[in-house]
Amino acid sequence: MRFEAVCGSLIDQECDTLIVNLFQDVKQPGGATGAVDKALGGLIAKTIEEEDFRGRLGDTLVLRTCGKIPASKVVVVGLGKKEDLDSLSVMRAAGAAARECMKLRARTVASVLHGAGSGGFSPAESAKCVTLGTILGTYEFNRLKTEDTKPNPIEVLRIVEISSEKLSDIRSGISRGEVIGHAICFARDLANEPSNVVTPSYLAEMAQQIARENDLECTVLDRRGIEEAGMGLLTAVARGAAREPYFIELRYVPPNSNGSTNIKKIALVGKGITFDSGGYSLKSHSAMSGMKDDMSGAAAVLAAMRALAKLKPPVVLVGIVPATENAIGSQAIHPGDVFKSLSGKTVEVTNTDAEGRLILADAVAWAVKQGVDEIIDCATLTGACVTALGDEISGVFANRQTLADKLIAAGESCGEKLWQLPLHTGYRKRLKSEVADLKNTAGHAGGAIIGALFIESFVGETPWAHIDLSAASADKENELTRKGATGVPTGTLIEYVMGLQTPNW
Protein backbone atom coordinates (compact mmCIF):
# COMPACT_ATOMS: atom_id res chain seq x y z
CA MET A 1 0.00 0.00 0.00
CA ARG A 2 1.31 3.42 -0.99
CA PHE A 3 0.46 6.66 0.81
CA GLU A 4 0.25 10.02 -0.92
CA ALA A 5 -0.56 13.60 0.05
CA VAL A 6 -2.23 15.77 -2.59
CA CYS A 7 -3.59 19.28 -2.72
CA GLY A 8 -7.16 19.55 -3.89
CA SER A 9 -10.81 19.11 -3.07
CA LEU A 10 -12.26 15.85 -1.79
CA ILE A 11 -15.22 16.05 -4.13
CA ASP A 12 -12.90 16.12 -7.16
CA GLN A 13 -10.98 12.96 -6.28
CA GLU A 14 -11.15 10.13 -8.78
CA CYS A 15 -11.02 6.98 -6.67
CA ASP A 16 -12.90 3.82 -5.79
CA THR A 17 -13.73 5.00 -2.28
CA LEU A 18 -13.69 8.35 -0.51
CA ILE A 19 -13.37 8.43 3.29
CA VAL A 20 -14.96 11.21 5.34
CA ASN A 21 -15.85 11.40 9.05
CA LEU A 22 -18.48 12.44 11.52
CA PHE A 23 -18.42 13.20 15.24
CA GLN A 24 -20.92 11.33 17.37
CA ASP A 25 -24.54 12.52 17.27
CA VAL A 26 -23.90 15.15 14.59
CA LYS A 27 -26.92 15.19 12.29
CA GLN A 28 -25.84 17.85 9.82
CA PRO A 29 -22.27 17.30 8.58
CA GLY A 30 -19.90 20.23 8.35
CA GLY A 31 -16.40 20.84 7.04
CA ALA A 32 -15.10 18.45 4.41
CA THR A 33 -17.86 15.93 5.12
CA GLY A 34 -20.41 18.72 4.67
CA ALA A 35 -18.89 19.66 1.31
CA VAL A 36 -19.16 16.05 0.11
CA ASP A 37 -22.73 15.88 1.46
CA LYS A 38 -23.66 19.01 -0.50
CA ALA A 39 -22.13 17.59 -3.69
CA LEU A 40 -24.23 14.45 -3.16
CA GLY A 41 -27.40 16.45 -2.75
CA GLY A 42 -27.67 15.89 1.01
CA LEU A 43 -27.33 12.11 0.75
CA ILE A 44 -25.08 11.79 3.81
CA ALA A 45 -27.40 13.78 6.10
CA LYS A 46 -30.45 11.95 4.77
CA THR A 47 -28.88 8.49 5.26
CA ILE A 48 -27.66 9.41 8.76
CA GLU A 49 -31.25 10.18 9.73
CA GLU A 50 -32.83 7.21 7.97
CA GLU A 51 -30.38 4.63 9.31
CA ASP A 52 -29.85 6.29 12.69
CA PHE A 53 -26.09 6.42 12.14
CA ARG A 54 -24.75 7.82 15.41
CA GLY A 55 -21.11 8.32 14.48
CA ARG A 56 -19.81 6.20 17.33
CA LEU A 57 -16.07 5.64 17.14
CA GLY A 58 -15.26 3.10 14.43
CA ASP A 59 -18.81 2.79 13.06
CA THR A 60 -18.99 3.02 9.28
CA LEU A 61 -21.61 3.90 6.72
CA VAL A 62 -21.22 3.14 2.98
CA LEU A 63 -22.91 5.26 0.32
CA ARG A 64 -22.93 4.92 -3.46
CA THR A 65 -22.43 8.21 -5.25
CA CYS A 66 -24.26 7.30 -8.49
CA GLY A 67 -21.89 9.47 -10.52
CA LYS A 68 -22.55 12.72 -8.64
CA ILE A 69 -18.83 12.94 -7.76
CA PRO A 70 -15.85 11.09 -9.33
CA ALA A 71 -15.51 8.70 -6.34
CA SER A 72 -17.60 5.53 -6.75
CA LYS A 73 -18.42 5.16 -3.05
CA VAL A 74 -18.17 7.17 0.14
CA VAL A 75 -17.35 5.67 3.52
CA VAL A 76 -18.41 7.75 6.51
CA VAL A 77 -16.54 6.76 9.67
CA GLY A 78 -17.50 7.74 13.20
CA LEU A 79 -14.97 9.68 15.30
CA GLY A 80 -16.87 9.28 18.56
CA LYS A 81 -17.42 12.18 20.94
CA LYS A 82 -15.48 15.31 20.02
CA GLU A 83 -14.32 15.87 23.60
CA ASP A 84 -12.82 12.34 23.68
CA LEU A 85 -10.80 12.66 20.48
CA ASP A 86 -7.16 11.60 20.86
CA SER A 87 -4.46 9.94 18.77
CA LEU A 88 -5.88 6.48 19.37
CA SER A 89 -9.36 7.63 18.29
CA VAL A 90 -7.99 8.92 14.99
CA MET A 91 -6.09 5.68 14.48
CA ARG A 92 -9.15 3.57 15.24
CA ALA A 93 -11.30 5.60 12.85
CA ALA A 94 -8.70 5.26 10.10
CA GLY A 95 -8.37 1.53 10.73
CA ALA A 96 -12.13 0.99 10.66
CA ALA A 97 -12.51 2.95 7.43
CA ALA A 98 -9.62 1.10 5.77
CA ARG A 99 -11.15 -2.27 6.70
CA GLU A 100 -14.44 -1.19 5.14
CA CYS A 101 -12.54 -0.26 1.98
CA MET A 102 -10.96 -3.71 1.97
CA LYS A 103 -14.42 -5.28 2.10
CA LEU A 104 -15.44 -3.10 -0.83
CA ARG A 105 -12.31 -4.31 -2.71
CA ALA A 106 -11.27 -0.72 -3.30
CA ARG A 107 -7.91 -0.21 -5.00
CA THR A 108 -7.64 3.57 -4.83
CA VAL A 109 -8.80 5.38 -1.70
CA ALA A 110 -8.86 9.08 -0.85
CA SER A 111 -9.25 10.27 2.73
CA VAL A 112 -9.85 13.39 4.73
CA LEU A 113 -7.40 14.16 7.55
CA HIS A 114 -9.24 12.81 10.60
CA GLY A 115 -8.73 15.03 13.62
CA ALA A 116 -7.45 18.06 11.72
CA GLY A 117 -9.53 21.22 11.65
CA SER A 118 -12.22 21.09 14.32
CA GLY A 119 -10.46 18.16 16.00
CA GLY A 120 -7.50 20.36 16.86
CA PHE A 121 -4.76 18.04 15.55
CA SER A 122 -1.83 19.41 13.58
CA PRO A 123 -1.64 18.24 9.95
CA ALA A 124 1.49 16.19 10.71
CA GLU A 125 0.02 14.46 13.76
CA SER A 126 -3.24 13.73 11.97
CA ALA A 127 -1.41 12.33 8.94
CA LYS A 128 0.74 10.13 11.17
CA CYS A 129 -2.32 8.71 12.94
CA VAL A 130 -4.28 8.16 9.72
CA THR A 131 -1.32 6.37 8.14
CA LEU A 132 -0.54 4.30 11.23
CA GLY A 133 -4.19 3.40 11.79
CA THR A 134 -4.59 2.35 8.16
CA ILE A 135 -1.49 0.12 8.25
CA LEU A 136 -2.46 -1.55 11.52
CA GLY A 137 -6.14 -1.85 10.62
CA THR A 138 -5.39 -3.65 7.36
CA TYR A 139 -2.76 -5.98 8.86
CA GLU A 140 -3.40 -9.71 8.46
CA PHE A 141 -1.24 -12.72 9.23
CA ASN A 142 -2.18 -15.35 6.68
CA ARG A 143 1.20 -16.59 5.47
CA LEU A 144 0.42 -20.14 6.59
CA LYS A 145 -3.05 -20.33 5.06
CA THR A 146 -3.63 -22.02 1.72
CA GLU A 147 -7.35 -21.25 1.34
CA ASP A 148 -9.69 -18.26 1.67
CA THR A 149 -6.92 -15.68 1.64
CA LYS A 150 -7.33 -12.39 -0.15
CA PRO A 151 -4.50 -9.86 -0.31
CA ASN A 152 -5.19 -6.31 0.74
CA PRO A 153 -6.73 -4.73 -2.39
CA ILE A 154 -5.82 -1.15 -1.43
CA GLU A 155 -2.94 0.01 -3.58
CA VAL A 156 -3.00 3.73 -2.83
CA LEU A 157 -4.36 5.78 0.04
CA ARG A 158 -4.38 9.44 -0.86
CA ILE A 159 -4.68 12.04 1.91
CA VAL A 160 -6.33 15.14 0.52
CA GLU A 161 -5.71 18.68 1.78
CA ILE A 162 -7.09 21.88 0.31
CA SER A 163 -4.10 24.00 1.43
CA SER A 164 -0.80 23.39 -0.36
CA GLU A 165 1.05 25.02 2.56
CA LYS A 166 0.26 22.01 4.76
CA LEU A 167 1.48 19.34 2.35
CA SER A 168 5.04 19.27 3.68
CA ASP A 169 3.85 18.63 7.25
CA ILE A 170 1.38 16.01 6.04
CA ARG A 171 4.09 14.15 4.12
CA SER A 172 6.30 14.25 7.20
CA GLY A 173 3.46 12.75 9.25
CA ILE A 174 2.86 10.07 6.63
CA SER A 175 6.54 9.09 6.72
CA ARG A 176 6.47 8.86 10.52
CA GLY A 177 3.32 6.73 10.46
CA GLU A 178 4.77 4.40 7.85
CA VAL A 179 7.97 3.82 9.84
CA ILE A 180 6.09 3.01 13.04
CA GLY A 181 3.36 1.01 11.31
CA HIS A 182 5.71 -1.22 9.35
CA ALA A 183 7.82 -1.81 12.46
CA ILE A 184 4.77 -2.86 14.48
CA CYS A 185 3.68 -5.21 11.69
CA PHE A 186 7.18 -6.71 11.63
CA ALA A 187 6.90 -7.39 15.36
CA ARG A 188 3.41 -8.84 14.88
CA ASP A 189 4.69 -11.20 12.19
CA LEU A 190 7.46 -12.47 14.46
CA ALA A 191 5.12 -13.07 17.41
CA ASN A 192 2.37 -14.62 15.27
CA GLU A 193 4.65 -17.24 13.73
CA PRO A 194 4.46 -20.66 15.44
CA SER A 195 7.17 -21.70 17.87
CA ASN A 196 8.47 -24.38 15.50
CA VAL A 197 9.39 -21.53 13.14
CA VAL A 198 10.48 -18.79 15.55
CA THR A 199 13.06 -20.64 17.59
CA PRO A 200 16.00 -19.05 19.45
CA SER A 201 18.18 -19.70 16.40
CA TYR A 202 15.57 -18.00 14.18
CA LEU A 203 15.73 -14.86 16.36
CA ALA A 204 19.53 -14.94 16.18
CA GLU A 205 19.44 -15.26 12.39
CA MET A 206 16.87 -12.45 12.18
CA ALA A 207 19.10 -10.19 14.28
CA GLN A 208 22.07 -10.96 12.04
CA GLN A 209 19.99 -10.17 8.96
CA ILE A 210 18.85 -6.86 10.49
CA ALA A 211 22.48 -6.05 11.26
CA ARG A 212 23.63 -6.81 7.71
CA GLU A 213 20.86 -4.75 6.12
CA ASN A 214 21.29 -1.75 8.41
CA ASP A 215 25.03 -1.69 9.14
CA LEU A 216 24.66 -2.60 12.81
CA GLU A 217 27.04 -4.51 15.04
CA CYS A 218 25.70 -7.91 16.04
CA THR A 219 26.99 -10.27 18.72
CA VAL A 220 25.44 -13.71 19.21
CA LEU A 221 26.50 -16.01 22.05
CA ASP A 222 25.60 -19.70 21.88
CA ARG A 223 25.08 -21.97 24.90
CA ARG A 224 28.80 -22.25 25.58
CA GLY A 225 29.30 -18.53 25.19
CA ILE A 226 26.42 -17.81 27.56
CA GLU A 227 27.92 -20.13 30.16
CA GLU A 228 31.41 -18.66 29.77
CA ALA A 229 30.01 -15.13 30.11
CA GLY A 230 28.63 -16.10 33.52
CA MET A 231 24.92 -15.82 32.72
CA GLY A 232 23.90 -18.51 35.16
CA LEU A 233 20.20 -17.70 35.15
CA LEU A 234 19.80 -17.79 31.36
CA THR A 235 21.89 -20.97 31.31
CA ALA A 236 19.60 -22.52 33.93
CA VAL A 237 16.36 -21.74 32.11
CA ALA A 238 17.79 -23.11 28.84
CA ARG A 239 18.86 -26.43 30.37
CA GLY A 240 15.59 -28.23 29.74
CA ALA A 241 15.32 -27.30 26.07
CA ALA A 242 16.62 -29.39 23.19
CA ARG A 243 16.86 -26.24 21.06
CA GLU A 244 19.99 -24.19 21.62
CA PRO A 245 19.69 -20.85 23.46
CA TYR A 246 21.22 -17.65 22.14
CA PHE A 247 22.10 -14.32 23.68
CA ILE A 248 21.71 -11.60 21.07
CA GLU A 249 23.07 -8.05 21.07
CA LEU A 250 22.49 -5.50 18.31
CA ARG A 251 24.36 -2.22 18.55
CA TYR A 252 23.65 1.02 16.71
CA VAL A 253 26.16 3.88 16.83
CA PRO A 254 25.18 7.23 15.28
CA PRO A 255 27.05 8.16 12.10
CA ASN A 256 29.88 10.65 12.58
CA SER A 257 29.90 10.15 16.35
CA ASN A 258 33.67 9.58 16.14
CA GLY A 259 33.76 7.51 19.30
CA SER A 260 32.37 10.31 21.47
CA THR A 261 31.67 9.30 25.07
CA ASN A 262 29.12 12.08 25.56
CA ILE A 263 26.40 10.40 23.50
CA LYS A 264 23.55 8.90 25.49
CA LYS A 265 23.53 5.09 25.47
CA ILE A 266 20.20 3.28 25.80
CA ALA A 267 19.64 -0.46 26.18
CA LEU A 268 16.41 -1.97 24.86
CA VAL A 269 15.94 -5.45 26.34
CA GLY A 270 13.29 -7.92 25.15
CA LYS A 271 12.28 -11.24 26.69
CA GLY A 272 12.85 -13.98 24.11
CA ILE A 273 11.12 -17.09 25.42
CA THR A 274 10.10 -18.66 22.11
CA PHE A 275 7.85 -21.18 23.86
CA ASP A 276 6.97 -21.43 27.54
CA SER A 277 5.75 -24.75 28.90
CA GLY A 278 6.29 -23.52 32.44
CA GLY A 279 9.01 -26.11 33.00
CA TYR A 280 8.39 -28.41 35.96
CA SER A 281 5.95 -25.79 37.28
CA LEU A 282 3.91 -26.91 34.30
CA LYS A 283 1.26 -24.67 32.79
CA SER A 284 -2.25 -25.95 32.15
CA HIS A 285 -3.27 -26.70 28.57
CA SER A 286 -5.31 -23.50 28.29
CA ALA A 287 -2.46 -21.38 29.66
CA MET A 288 0.14 -23.04 27.43
CA SER A 289 -1.68 -22.83 24.09
CA GLY A 290 -0.73 -19.20 23.39
CA MET A 291 2.83 -19.34 24.62
CA LYS A 292 4.41 -18.93 21.20
CA ASP A 293 4.04 -15.20 21.83
CA ASP A 294 6.15 -15.22 24.99
CA MET A 295 8.88 -13.63 22.85
CA SER A 296 6.78 -10.53 22.12
CA GLY A 297 9.30 -8.38 23.99
CA ALA A 298 12.09 -9.70 21.79
CA ALA A 299 9.99 -9.08 18.68
CA ALA A 300 9.42 -5.46 19.72
CA VAL A 301 13.11 -4.85 20.40
CA LEU A 302 14.21 -6.35 17.07
CA ALA A 303 11.53 -4.39 15.21
CA ALA A 304 12.43 -1.15 16.96
CA MET A 305 16.15 -1.60 16.32
CA ARG A 306 15.43 -2.30 12.65
CA ALA A 307 13.39 0.89 12.33
CA LEU A 308 15.66 3.10 14.42
CA ALA A 309 18.71 2.06 12.42
CA LYS A 310 17.06 3.69 9.41
CA LEU A 311 15.96 6.78 11.34
CA LYS A 312 19.48 7.32 12.75
CA PRO A 313 18.76 8.97 16.11
CA PRO A 314 21.69 10.75 17.83
CA VAL A 315 21.99 8.11 20.59
CA VAL A 316 23.77 4.78 20.95
CA LEU A 317 21.32 1.89 21.09
CA VAL A 318 22.01 -1.58 22.45
CA GLY A 319 19.27 -4.08 21.61
CA ILE A 320 19.47 -7.17 23.84
CA VAL A 321 17.50 -10.41 23.47
CA PRO A 322 18.07 -13.45 25.70
CA ALA A 323 16.45 -16.22 23.64
CA THR A 324 15.52 -19.72 24.78
CA GLU A 325 12.62 -22.09 25.27
CA ASN A 326 11.36 -22.93 28.74
CA ALA A 327 10.92 -26.66 28.37
CA ILE A 328 10.96 -29.88 30.34
CA GLY A 329 13.87 -32.24 29.77
CA SER A 330 16.30 -34.46 31.61
CA GLN A 331 18.43 -31.44 32.55
CA ALA A 332 15.56 -29.03 33.34
CA ILE A 333 15.80 -27.08 36.56
CA HIS A 334 13.67 -27.95 39.59
CA PRO A 335 11.89 -25.72 42.09
CA GLY A 336 14.35 -25.19 44.90
CA ASP A 337 17.46 -25.12 42.70
CA VAL A 338 19.88 -22.22 43.21
CA PHE A 339 21.91 -20.49 40.49
CA LYS A 340 24.41 -17.66 40.29
CA SER A 341 23.52 -14.71 38.08
CA LEU A 342 25.79 -12.59 35.88
CA SER A 343 25.71 -9.90 38.56
CA GLY A 344 27.04 -12.37 41.13
CA LYS A 345 23.79 -12.59 43.10
CA THR A 346 22.42 -16.06 43.78
CA VAL A 347 18.79 -16.91 43.07
CA GLU A 348 16.59 -19.69 44.42
CA VAL A 349 14.12 -20.79 41.75
CA THR A 350 10.84 -21.28 43.61
CA ASN A 351 8.77 -21.43 40.41
CA THR A 352 10.18 -22.54 37.06
CA ASP A 353 7.29 -20.78 35.31
CA ALA A 354 8.71 -17.42 36.44
CA GLU A 355 11.56 -17.85 33.98
CA GLY A 356 11.21 -14.54 32.14
CA ARG A 357 12.54 -12.52 35.05
CA LEU A 358 15.49 -14.91 35.34
CA ILE A 359 16.70 -14.40 31.79
CA LEU A 360 15.97 -10.66 32.00
CA ALA A 361 18.04 -10.41 35.18
CA ASP A 362 21.12 -11.58 33.30
CA ALA A 363 20.22 -9.40 30.30
CA VAL A 364 19.88 -6.17 32.29
CA ALA A 365 23.05 -7.02 34.23
CA TRP A 366 24.81 -7.37 30.86
CA ALA A 367 23.47 -3.92 29.89
CA VAL A 368 24.80 -2.46 33.14
CA LYS A 369 28.24 -3.91 32.36
CA GLN A 370 28.09 -2.17 28.96
CA GLY A 371 27.87 1.15 30.79
CA VAL A 372 24.51 2.20 29.37
CA ASP A 373 22.79 5.33 30.67
CA GLU A 374 19.30 3.86 30.58
CA ILE A 375 17.63 0.45 30.36
CA ILE A 376 14.14 -0.27 29.08
CA ASP A 377 13.03 -3.88 29.22
CA CYS A 378 9.79 -5.25 27.83
CA ALA A 379 8.35 -8.68 28.53
CA THR A 380 5.20 -10.75 28.69
CA LEU A 381 6.10 -11.22 32.32
CA THR A 382 3.04 -11.76 34.51
CA GLY A 383 -0.58 -12.82 34.29
CA ALA A 384 -1.06 -10.55 37.28
CA CYS A 385 -0.62 -7.51 35.04
CA VAL A 386 -3.30 -8.82 32.66
CA THR A 387 -5.60 -9.28 35.65
CA ALA A 388 -4.91 -5.72 36.79
CA LEU A 389 -5.05 -3.89 33.45
CA GLY A 390 -6.73 -6.20 30.95
CA ASP A 391 -5.36 -6.87 27.47
CA GLU A 392 -5.42 -3.34 26.02
CA ILE A 393 -3.10 -1.61 28.50
CA SER A 394 0.43 -2.58 29.49
CA GLY A 395 1.95 -1.83 32.86
CA VAL A 396 5.09 0.25 33.29
CA PHE A 397 7.40 0.37 36.29
CA ALA A 398 10.40 2.67 36.63
CA ASN A 399 13.02 3.78 39.10
CA ARG A 400 12.91 7.29 37.61
CA GLN A 401 9.57 9.11 37.32
CA THR A 402 10.65 11.15 34.29
CA LEU A 403 11.40 7.95 32.38
CA ALA A 404 7.96 6.52 33.16
CA ASP A 405 6.28 9.78 32.12
CA LYS A 406 8.14 9.93 28.81
CA LEU A 407 7.34 6.31 27.97
CA ILE A 408 3.65 6.80 28.74
CA ALA A 409 3.58 9.92 26.53
CA ALA A 410 5.40 8.05 23.74
CA GLY A 411 2.82 5.28 23.93
CA GLU A 412 -0.07 7.74 23.81
CA SER A 413 1.29 9.28 20.61
CA CYS A 414 1.14 5.96 18.75
CA GLY A 415 -1.94 4.40 20.35
CA GLU A 416 -0.11 2.06 22.77
CA LYS A 417 -1.57 2.58 26.21
CA LEU A 418 0.69 2.28 29.26
CA TRP A 419 -0.33 2.64 32.89
CA GLN A 420 2.18 3.15 35.65
CA LEU A 421 2.14 0.62 38.47
CA PRO A 422 3.94 1.17 41.78
CA LEU A 423 7.44 -0.12 42.30
CA HIS A 424 6.59 -0.59 45.96
CA THR A 425 9.90 -1.08 47.73
CA GLY A 426 8.17 -2.43 50.83
CA TYR A 427 7.64 -5.70 48.95
CA ARG A 428 11.38 -6.26 48.40
CA LYS A 429 11.67 -8.24 51.62
CA ARG A 430 9.28 -10.83 50.16
CA LEU A 431 11.98 -11.72 47.59
CA LYS A 432 14.50 -12.69 50.27
CA SER A 433 15.43 -16.35 50.20
CA GLU A 434 16.52 -18.46 53.17
CA VAL A 435 19.15 -20.24 51.08
CA ALA A 436 20.20 -17.60 48.50
CA ASP A 437 20.28 -13.86 47.96
CA LEU A 438 16.90 -13.81 46.21
CA LYS A 439 14.04 -16.06 45.19
CA ASN A 440 12.23 -15.55 41.91
CA THR A 441 8.62 -15.60 43.20
CA ALA A 442 6.79 -14.62 46.36
CA GLY A 443 3.17 -15.75 46.08
CA HIS A 444 0.32 -14.41 43.94
CA ALA A 445 -0.41 -11.11 45.71
CA GLY A 446 1.14 -8.17 43.88
CA GLY A 447 2.63 -10.51 41.29
CA ALA A 448 3.40 -7.85 38.68
CA ILE A 449 5.15 -5.68 41.29
CA ILE A 450 7.16 -8.63 42.59
CA GLY A 451 8.32 -9.47 39.06
CA ALA A 452 9.40 -5.89 38.44
CA LEU A 453 11.20 -5.67 41.78
CA PHE A 454 13.11 -8.85 40.97
CA ILE A 455 14.43 -7.38 37.72
CA GLU A 456 15.17 -4.06 39.43
CA SER A 457 17.49 -5.94 41.81
CA PHE A 458 19.94 -6.33 38.91
CA VAL A 459 20.00 -2.79 37.45
CA GLY A 460 21.84 -1.07 40.31
CA GLU A 461 21.66 2.73 40.02
CA THR A 462 21.05 2.76 36.27
CA PRO A 463 17.81 4.54 35.24
CA TRP A 464 15.47 1.71 34.25
CA ALA A 465 11.92 1.01 33.16
CA HIS A 466 10.11 -2.31 32.82
CA ILE A 467 7.09 -2.72 30.57
CA ASP A 468 4.92 -5.72 31.48
CA LEU A 469 3.20 -6.55 28.20
CA SER A 470 -0.33 -7.36 29.25
CA ALA A 471 -1.38 -5.93 25.86
CA ALA A 472 0.93 -8.13 23.77
CA SER A 473 -1.87 -10.21 22.29
CA ALA A 474 -5.57 -9.81 21.56
CA ASP A 475 -8.25 -12.44 21.99
CA LYS A 476 -10.69 -10.53 19.80
CA GLU A 477 -10.48 -8.06 16.96
CA ASN A 478 -10.80 -4.31 17.15
CA GLU A 479 -10.27 -1.57 14.58
CA LEU A 480 -6.49 -1.86 14.76
CA THR A 481 -5.79 -5.45 15.75
CA ARG A 482 -6.67 -8.91 14.52
CA LYS A 483 -6.68 -11.81 16.94
CA GLY A 484 -3.09 -12.52 17.88
CA ALA A 485 -0.02 -10.38 18.40
CA THR A 486 -0.40 -6.61 18.72
CA GLY A 487 3.25 -5.63 18.27
CA VAL A 488 3.20 -3.61 21.49
CA PRO A 489 5.43 -1.78 22.58
CA THR A 490 7.33 -1.34 19.29
CA GLY A 491 5.79 2.05 18.57
CA THR A 492 6.45 3.27 22.10
CA LEU A 493 10.15 2.39 21.87
CA ILE A 494 10.54 4.18 18.53
CA GLU A 495 8.62 7.27 19.63
CA TYR A 496 10.56 7.42 22.90
CA VAL A 497 14.01 7.18 21.33
CA MET A 498 13.22 9.61 18.50
CA GLY A 499 11.53 12.05 20.86
CA LEU A 500 14.61 12.38 23.07
CA GLN A 501 16.31 14.80 20.68
CA THR A 502 13.82 15.51 17.95
CA PRO A 503 10.25 16.08 19.19
CA ASN A 504 7.69 15.77 16.38
CA TRP A 505 10.29 14.08 14.23
Taking the C-alpha atoms of residue 36 and residue 309, their distance in angstroms, rounded to an integer, is 42
Helix (H, G, I), strand (E, B) or coil at 289: coil
pLDDT of residue 149: 80
Secondary element (H or E) of residue 145: none
Specify the pLDDT at position 260: 73
Q: Which alpha helices (DSSP H) does 391-446 contain, by range?
A: 401-413
Catalytic residue check, 223 = no
Q: Can the peptide bond before residue 489 be classed as cis, meaning omega within 30 degrees of 0?
A: yes
Q: What are phi and psi of 240, to 5 degrees?
A: -80, -10
Task: List per-block mean pLDDT (blocks of 10 residues) for the chain, which spans 505 residues.
Answer: 96 97 94 96 96 96 97 98 96 98 98 89 96 98 85 96 95 97 98 98 98 98 98 98 98 85 94 98 93 98 98 96 97 98 98 98 98 98 97 98 98 97 96 98 95 98 98 95 97 96 73
Could you give the C-alpha distances from 291 to 30, 178, 288, 326, 363, in angstroms and in order? 48, 29, 5, 10, 21
Q: Which domains does the chain have, with CATH numbers?
A: 2-183 (3.40.220.10), 193-499 (3.40.630.10)
In the set 171, 283, 345, 430, the catalytic residue is 283
Neighbours of 235 (CB within 10 A): 26
Close Cβ partners of 24 (under 8 Å, ≥ 6 residues apart) = 54, 55, 56, 57, 78, 79, 80, 81, 82
| Cα–Cα distance for residue pair 311/502, rounded to 1 Å | 11
Using a cut of 0.75, tell me whether the model's pTM lies above it.
Answer: yes
Q: Read off the amino acid at residue 11.
A: I
Q: Report pLDDT for 175.
A: 97
Which member of 223, 239, 243, 357 is catalytic?
Answer: 357
* Calpha distance 423→396 (Å, rounded): 9
Within 8 A by CB and 6+ apart from 364, the residues are 267, 269, 375, 377, 455, 458, 459, 464
d(CA 350, CA 348): 6
361-377 per-residue burial string, b: 16 or more CB within 10 A, e: under 16:
bbbbbbbbeeebebbbb
| 355 three-state secondary structure | coil
**Whether 283 is catalytic:** yes
Instruction: Tell me how far apart the alpha carbons of residues 302 and 209 are, in angstroms, rounded to a whole number.
Output: 11
Which DSSP category does 120 fall into?
A: -
Question: CA-CA distance, 223 to 245, in Å (whole number)?
Answer: 6
